[in-house]
Structure formats: structure tokens, C-alpha cells
Amino acid sequence: MAKKESTIVNMVLALFVITTISAATLGFMFKLTEMPKKRAEIIKQNFAILAVLPEFDNNPSAEYYKIESYDGGDSLTCFPAYKNGELAGIAVKTWTKKGFSGEIFLMAGFDHRGHIYSITVLEHQETPGLGTKMADAEFKDQYYGKHPDINNLSVKKNGGEIDAITAATISSIAFSDAVERAFKSLKKAGKY
């Protein structure tokens, strides 16, 4: 069998065929995994809402609304919870860009009076073993029951009430920033 001569046309044609097959395969795999990824995100969000709110009898995910961040940044998504027609609390998907490794997303739950009910970490890129400790109960539990208008949610290093994570002060400050962003945005929107 004779060897084909390497010409620019043959090389471009081979590269075109390889690129087309690769792009089609990537597109197919994206479409194939798109719906399962969306379903997994919705399930994760619903579990977070359930974890950060007091008992409720409505579907907060179906009644969500967006509010503007108090500082004009990206909007926040709110999930109101009702019990017997009365507001039981609001879960807020909040964020901060002050993390050591970038953005941090939290689901912060507030009761009907504005006290922090619970907080769940949704997404982050913090340093494993250090900044990731913000998801541990030992750190998060410091916020429970506190009211952002009454309590100083800054870390103690900055004059606040929160013990920072050892060797992860930046992550601790960012966590507080996200929680305060949620409350201040709710307040600006007239929810508290």
C-alpha cells in the first residue's frame, strides 16, 4: 500500500475531520449530562433550603423571588417559608467574592424576626483542610440565633463576635460577608 503524500490540503482536511468529530462528541456529552446536572443542582438547593429554615408547610422553591444586593452587586435568590399562612423564615442564596480562592455561595436561613436560623455552604474553592472548615458545625454554629442588626458578625480580629477558623481568617471574613450581604439585602428590600 502506498503512503499518502503529506500536503497542506491533506493535513488541513485531517485536522478538520478530527476537530469536527471532537466538537460533535463534546456537544453530545454536554446535552446528555445537562438535565441530570440541573436536577442534581435543584435537589441540592432543596436540601439546603430544608436545612436552613424553621418548619414550614409551603414550597419555598416554587415561591422564590430575587432581590438586588444591597451594594448593587449580583442579585440574591430568596425562598420564603410559611407555616399556617404566616412567614416562618426566609432562605437566601447569598454570595461573596472575598474568599481566599474566589467566590463562596451560601444558603442562609433567617427566622421571621430576622435571627439567623441556620447556614449551609453551597459552593466554594477554599483551601482543603483550612477554608473548607467553614462548613463544619463548630464554625457555623457561632452564627445561629444571632441577629445581624444586634450582633457584630465580624471576626474577633476585626472587633466582632465570631471566632475565625485557625489559619483561614480570610475564609471566615468572607463567610460573614456573605451572611451580612443576605441580611442587608433583605432589609433593603423591606423584608425585615
User: Where are the domains positioned within the chain?
Assistant: 51-188
- Asked if the model's pLDDT at residue 2 lies above 70, the reply is no
Q: Angle CA(165)–CA(184)–CA(44) in degrees, nearest 5?
A: 65
Neighbours of 181 (CB within 10 A): 23
Q: What is the mean pLDDT of residues 116-145?
A: 92
Q: Is the predicted pLDDT of residue 127 greater than 70, yes or no? A: yes
The pLDDT assigned to 21 comes to 95
pLDDT (mean) for 156-182:
94
Report how far residue 44's alpha carbon sits from residue 40's, in angstroms, rounded to the nearest whole number.
6
CA 140 – CA 134 distance, rounded (Å): 7
Does the pLDDT of residue 192 top 70, yes or no?
yes
Q: What does the CA dihedral 71, 73, 79, 84 come to, rounded to 10 degrees?
A: 20
Assess contact for 52 and 120: CB atoms under 8 A: yes
DSSP 134: G
